[in-house]
Structure 1
Amino acid sequence: MIFCTYTSLVSVTHTTVVDAPILEVYSSLYQKYGTKLTCPCTNIAIAQRDFITLIPTFHQVCYSDFVKKSWLSYLNAASDKYLSSDFRSQGGLLFQILASFCRLSQDTIKNSLNKFYSTRFISNDVLDEDLLKNQSRSHIETYKSTTAREFVNSFNNIRDAISGNQLLSGFLTNFDFKPSKYSSEPQAYLVSYVSTVYNMPGRCNCDDTPSCIFPASINDNNTGHVILVVPGLYTGCLLVEAMRQSNLQCLYNQTCLNEIKKHIRSSVSFNSTALSSFVPSRYNASTDINQLLTELMVESWIENISHASYYNRCQPAHCVYTIVGKNNAIYIITALLSLLGGLCKVLYFLTLIVVKIIRRRRGKIVSIKFLVGMSEIYSILTL
């Protein structure tokens, strides 16, 4: 009874091995045993392209006519041959920069995705679906932030290099050459290198910072008076920097586009249609282009993490799970019978030995009593 009670109460660890489990078997075992289940991977390094898919959806402006050749040709055909800060002169360049932003972001993502897909995902044991998705999403977020940061830093580095070396822009929007005085030896005018100063908003000198901006406008050819200020669009020391600080406010407004078209005399025809405000977006019309660049001009990402593909590439040879529990009735009965059988054998041999010892001792006592009795008889007879 003591043995049965002890055997039924003691805790024991049971280990079970399942060879070459398929995904359905693994899922069933994991639901039942959770973290007690371990399945070592045959392939511990798996390329992320084997189970992760990322598809970016870009901002609608990158799919619109405003970054296509027809719109750029329409604006370029309206520009005159003189350098001017008028939108009719710089509009084509500004939207060409915007088109370049879309193209560069798409190329950057395409190239960086190849590197991301070729990166190895390391796991010694099979990860359950939730843990795999959490770790994969962490890798994805790291990839997005790193790629976007490097993308924006490339523009900042180019801007700082141009500013530090005081290089002239193609439209002389940051520096200009102006004659200062006449020199007799040699007979020529001396030319000075003068930085451009913009007065709106505030006074900003291109010699101090390349980020000075000025609202883009359409001016009267004779008087120079401003006829139309293009909402959200800027020019400045560097057109790339001005475009980064601009927004798409006018492109969402059909009235604004019609006003621009009314003042532009272009030899190329173009029917402009405003961007749709009904398209779901995490940005609004007043979001500046630089904010879009920090997100790689991406509106959303379609992410697909396939646990089945990961499991097939991992190829676990076996799964092991351990549970701590009590001995079952069959084990207790078997152990008890084994104990009783052993005791019977032991007692059988012990009993033989004990009986022999007792018999030997009893034989000696009888012999001694017999000898004592015979000696007493002999003594009586000899009297």
Structure 2
Amino acid sequence: MPPSTDEHQLRNQRISTRIFIILLILSLTVLILYTSLVNVTKTIDINAPIIIQYSQLYSTYPQTLTCACTQISIDYDKFLKINYTLHQICTSIFVADYWINYFYATRGTATLNSDDFRQSGSFIFQALNTSCQLSNQTISNRLTQFYSSQYVSTSVTPLQVFQLQTQEFVSQFISSITNDFLLSISTIRQTTRANNLLAGQLTNYGLYRQSSNYVSSFSVSYGNCSCASSATCAYEFPFYDSKNSKVIFIVPGIYVGCYIIEALLQSNLQCFYNKTCINKIQSYFPQYLSMNLTTLDVSLLGRFNMSSTIQELIDNLMVEKWNSSTTYDGYYNECQPSKCSYSYQTRNSVIYIITTLIGIVGGLITVLKLITPRVVRLIAFCIRRCTVKHNAVSPGIQP
């Protein structure tokens, strides 16, 4: 088909070509700017990462890293250990059978007052030994339950969060076991007080026979305090002169009272940190019963001090120090993440931009080829119509 010689058609073709080129350049420029400047999210998967890989990834992508656990419930004992150190009195000679038998040997050599330290002091140390054993057994039993508890996580917990959580687990464990232990002791004490029970060592009430068929009781007093009115009556243990029952020495910090447990709770161990005090006590025992006693070590004191009462020790389960250790590797190995995924924001590469343009430019050219000539012809047609109408109206206008 020969080229058109129509002036209007040729002009439209020239205009269409120019507009086509301009639109193509503008479109390509916009596409290049958009594909090169826009941020895109890329997601990367890593199969079965070891803990070193996980740590490196978390330090770089802490907000987007997720690692699904294969094992979602893990026993505490796989990653958490709790150790404790009882007060040194619990491992000292003063709660050992050797020391307690020391008192029994003394009783057979002389007639002593019932509240003389040599006569009744062993009861205090037996009660102290029982307190140590009870605390140790309670903690041991509860730790067995604690270790069987399970930590549940569907994905790997970050190290910092994991450490905070395990610290809270330990704090809750210590608080719970302490409260339960003290509640048990308080219940026993309150029951004993409310029922005014007779102490096995007759420290709160004495008995005497009025007749062959009748036994009466009388309350024991400690100072101006009568056991009939208060179960907590107590005073520091005395040593009596066997000849005239005169007090010759008072053991500082160790009490005797209506009930062994009440006297024990009011007592402290200050005398047993002092070698002079211990020697003084031993001087009132028969010389042939002498034994080598080592003082408690002041340097081992932590949360307590020399004048801390046994009540304070029991309020803390007789524990001088708690230690807990967390093994993050143990947790991670039990979790066994099968895959970790992380994402990050980046811009398209040059290859992606070129590939995208190649894929789009063909369609863009086709669309512009179809649309541009028709738009130009439409605009030209509208202009001619307006021109013809204007010329048709103009001759009728009078100057």
TM over 0.5: yes
CA separation of 1:125/1:83 partners in 2, compared to 1, >3 Å: closer, same or farther?
Answer: farther
Q: 1:32 & 1:207 partners in 2: Cα distance?
A: 73
1:283 aligns with 2:313: no
**In structure 2, do the counterparts of structure 1 residues 204 and 43 end up closer, same or farther at CA, with 3 Å as the change threshold?**
farther
* Distance in 2, Cα, partners of 1:121 & 1:290: 35
Which residue identity lines up with residue 27 of structure 1 in the other structure?
S
Structure 1 residues 208 and 320 mapped into 2: Cα distance closer, same or farther (>3 Å)? farther
2:203 is the counterpart of 1:173: yes
Please name the residue that 2:146 is paired with.
Answer: 116
Which residue is 2:10 aligned to? none
Query: Structure 2 matches for 1:1-383, cutoff 5 A?
Result: 1-80=29-108, 84-177=114-207, 191-199=215-223, 203-265=224-286, 268-344=289-365, 350=370
| 8 A Cα contact 1:74 1:266, kept in partner | no
Q: Structure 1: how far apart are the matches of 2:63 and 2:169?
A: 23
Residues of 1 paired with 2:36 and 2:232: CA distance?
81
Of stretches 321-330 and 303-312 in structure 1, the one that deviates more from structure 2 is 321-330
Q: Give the residue type in structure 1 aligned to 2:94.
A: F
C-alpha distance 54-29 of structure 1, shift in aligned 2 (>3 A): same
Output the CA distance in 2 between the equivalents of 1:139 and 1:39: 23
Partner Cα distance (1:86, 1:11) in 2: 88
The CA distance in 2 between the partners of 1:323 and 1:206, in whole Å, is: 77
Q: In 2, are the aligned partners of 1:233 and 1:247 still within 8 Å (CA)?
A: yes
Distance (Å, rounded) in 1 between the aligned partners of 2:36 and 2:228: 89
5+ residue gaps, structure 2, are: 1-28, 378-399
Q: Indicate the larger mover: 278-287 or 228-237.
A: 278-287
Change in 2 beyond 3 A, CA 1:35/1:289: farther
Deviates more, 1:320-329 or 1:15-24: 320-329
**Structure 1 alignment gaps of length 5 or more:** 359-383
Provide the rounded CA distance (Å) in 2 between the counterparts of 1:107 and 1:235: 27
C-alpha deviation, 1:307, in angstroms? 0.3
Q: Give 1:217's aligned amino acid.
A: P
301 and 6 in structure 1: CA distance in 2 versus 1, 3 angstrom threshold:
same
Deviation at 1:146, TM superposition (A): 1.1
Letter in 2 for 1:12: V
State the Cα distance separating 1:345 from its structure 2 match. 5.6
Cα shift at 1:197: 3.0
1:344 Cα deviation after fit: 4.4
Letter aligned with residue 84 of structure 2:
P
CA drift of 1:326 comes to: 3.4
CA contact (8 A) 2:112 2:242 kept: no
Deviations 1:77-108 (A, max 9, x none): 11257670111111111111111111111111
Relative to structure 1, the CA distance from residue 6 to residue 204 in structure 2 (aligned partners, 3 Å threshold; closer, same or farther) is farther
Paired with 2:84 and 2:149, the residues of 1 have a C-alpha distance of: 19
Once the two structures are TM-superposed, the CA of residue 327 in structure 1 deviates from its matched residue by: 3.1
1:294-331 Cα shifts (integer Å, max 9, x gaps): 22211222321000000010111111222234334333
- Identity within the alignment, %: 38
The Cα of 1:14 is off from its aligned counterpart by: 2.2
**For residues 352 and 208 of structure 2, what CA distance do their matches in structure 1 show?**
103
Higher mean C-alpha displacement, 136-145 vs 4-13 = 4-13
Count of aligned positions: 345
TM-score w.r.t. the length of structure 1 is: 0.83
Distance apart, 1:60 and its partner CA? 1.5
Measured on the aligned residues, the alpha-carbon RMSD in Å equals 2.5
Deviating more after overlay: 259-268 vs 238-247: 259-268
Contact 1:70 1:270 in 2 (8 A): no
The superposition leaves residues 314-367 of structure 1 with CA deviations (integer Å, 9 ceiling, x where unpaired) of 11111122223433433333222222243346568x49xx79xx9xxxxxxxxx
- Tell me: CA distance 1:190–1:207, structure 2 relative to 1, closer, same or farther (3 Å): same
